[in-house]
Amino acid sequence: MAPKPDRSAERRTQILDAAENVFAQMGFNQATMDDIVVESGLSKGALYWYYKSKDALILALLDRIFAGGLAHFEGLVDVDGSASERLDVIIQGTVQEMIRIKHLMPLIYEFVALAARRKSVRETLGGYYRHYHDIISRIIEQGIDSGEFVDIDPDEAALAFLGLGEGLAMLYFVDPQWMELENIGATLKKYIVSGFETSEG
Amino acid sequence: MAPKPDRSAERRTQILDAAENVFAQMGFNQATMDDIVVESGLSKGALYWYYKSKDALILALLDRIFAGGLAHFEGLVDVDGSASERLDVIIQGTVQEMIRIKHLMPLIYEFVALAARRKSVRETLGGYYRHYHDIISRIIEQGIDSGEFVDIDPDEAALAFLGLGEGLAMLYFVDPQWMELENIGATLKKYIVSGFETSEG
Amino acid sequence: MAPKPDRSAERRTQILDAAENVFAQMGFNQATMDDIVVESGLSKGALYWYYKSKDALILALLDRIFAGGLAHFEGLVDVDGSASERLDVIIQGTVQEMIRIKHLMPLIYEFVALAARRKSVRETLGGYYRHYHDIISRIIEQGIDSGEFVDIDPDEAALAFLGLGEGLAMLYFVDPQWMELENIGATLKKYIVSGFETSEG
Amino acid sequence: MAPKPDRSAERRTQILDAAENVFAQMGFNQATMDDIVVESGLSKGALYWYYKSKDALILALLDRIFAGGLAHFEGLVDVDGSASERLDVIIQGTVQEMIRIKHLMPLIYEFVALAARRKSVRETLGGYYRHYHDIISRIIEQGIDSGEFVDIDPDEAALAFLGLGEGLAMLYFVDPQWMELENIGATLKKYIVSGFETSEG
DNA sequence: TATGAATGAGTCTTCATTCAT
DNA sequence: CATGAATGAAGACTCATTCAT
Chains D and A touch (3+ CB pairs under 8 A): no
Q: Taking CB atoms and an 8 Å limit, are D156 and C187 in contact across chains?
A: yes
* A98 in contact with B, Cβ within 8 Å: no
Contact list in B for residue A26 (CB cut-off 8 A) is 117
Looking at the DSSP assignment, which residues form a beta bridge with residue C149? C197
CA distance linking residue C122 with residue D172, whole number of Å: 11
**Partners of A197 in the β-ladder:** A149
DSSP C189: I
How much of chain D, in percent, has pLDDT values that exceed 70?
A: 96
Chains A and B form CB pairs within 8 A to the count of: 140
Residue C179: closest CA among D138, D130, D109, D73:
D130
> Cβ neighbours of residue B129 under 8 Å, at least 6 residues apart?
A171, A174, A175, B162, B166
3-state secondary structure of D113: helix
With H, G, I as helix, E, B as strand and everything else as coil, classify residue A149.
Answer: strand
With beta carbons under 8 A apart, name residues in chain A contacting B109: 109, 112-113, 115-116
Tens digit of pLDDT for each residue in B117-171?
A: 999 999 999 999 999 999 999 999 999 999 999 999 999 999 999 999 999 999 9
Q: What is the DSSP string of C32-46?
A: -HHHHHHHHTS-HHH
Q: Which CA distances in Å does B140 have to B71, B93, D6, D92? A: 18, 17, 74, 88
Cα–Cα distance measured from residue B183 to residue C112, given in angstroms and rounded to the nearest whole number:
73
What are A84-107's pLDDT values in tens digits?
999 999 999 999 999 999 999 999
Residue D69 pLDDT: 72
Distance of alpha carbon B36 from alpha carbon D133, whole angstroms: 60
* D52 beta carbon to strand E: under 7 Å: yes
The span from the CA of B122 to the CA of B127, in Å, is 8
- In angstroms, the first-to-last Cα distance of chain D is 66
Span D153-189, pLDDT tens digits: 999 999 999 999 999 999 999 999 999 999 999 999 9
Of the residues A28, A35, A151, A159, the best mutation for testing chain B's interface (the one with the most B CB atoms within 10 Å of its CB) is A159
What size, in residues, is chain D?
201
How does pLDDT run across B191-201, given as a tens digit for each residue? 999 989 887 54
**What's the pLDDT band for A152 if we cut at 50, 70, 90?**
very high
CA D78 from chain centre, in angstroms, equals 22
Q: Is residue C167 within 8 angstroms of chain D, CB to CB? A: yes
Question: What pLDDT is recorded for position C52?
Answer: 96
- For residue A79, what pLDDT is reported? 85
> Is residue D200 scored above 70 in pLDDT?
no
Q: Are the CB atoms for D112 and C113 separated by under 8 Å?
A: yes
Interface residues 119-158 of A with strand E (CB < 7 Å): none
Residue D28 in this model has a pLDDT that exceeds 70: yes
pLDDT of residue C1: 40
Residue D20 confidence (pLDDT):
97
Question: At residue C10, what is the residue type?
Answer: E
pLDDT band at B5 (very low <50, low <70, confident <90, very high): low
Higher-confidence position of A19 and C69: A19
**Does any CB of chain B come closer than 8 Å to the CB of residue A193?**
no
Predicted confidence at residue B84, as pLDDT, reads 94
- pLDDT, one tens digit per residue, over A69-80 is 788 888 888 888
- Torsion angles phi and psi, residue D26, rounded to 5: -110, -15
pLDDT at A80: 84
Report pLDDT for B3.
Answer: 43
- Nearest CA to D114 out of D178, D54, D47 is that of D54
- Give D43's DSSP letter: -
Nearest to D37 by CA among D24, D21, D18, D50: D18
pLDDT of residue D167: 98
Of the pLDDT bands very low, low, confident and very high (cuts 50, 70, 90), residue A2 is very low
> How distant is the Cα of A148 from the closest Cα of chain B, in angstroms?
18
Q: Say yes or no: Cβ of B38 under 7 A from any atom of strand E.
A: no
Q: Please state, in angstroms and rounded to a whole number, the distance separating the CA atoms of residues D130 and D155.
A: 11
Structure confidence by residue, pLDDT tens digits, D56-103: 999 999 999 988 678 788 888 888 889 999 999 999 999 999 999 999
Point out the residues of chain C with pLDDT beneath 50.
1-3, 201
Q: How far apart are CA A137 and CA B188, in angstroms?
A: 18
Contacts of C171 in chain D (CB under 8 A): 129, 159, 162-163, 166
Q: Measured from the CB, is B198 under 7 Å from any atom of strand E?
A: no
How confident is the model at residue A140, as a pLDDT?
A: 96
User: What proportions of chain C, in percent to the nearest 5, are helix, strand and coil?
Assistant: 75, 0, 25
How many C-alpha atoms does A5 have within 13 Å on its Cβ side? 0
Could you report the per-residue pLDDT of C62-109, keeping only the tens digit for each?
Answer: 999 998 778 889 888 888 889 999 999 999 999 999 999 999 999 999
What's the CA–C1' distance between A80 and E21, in Å? 83
Which nucleotide C1' is nearest C11 CA?
Answer: E5
CB A55 under 7 Å to nucleic chain F: yes
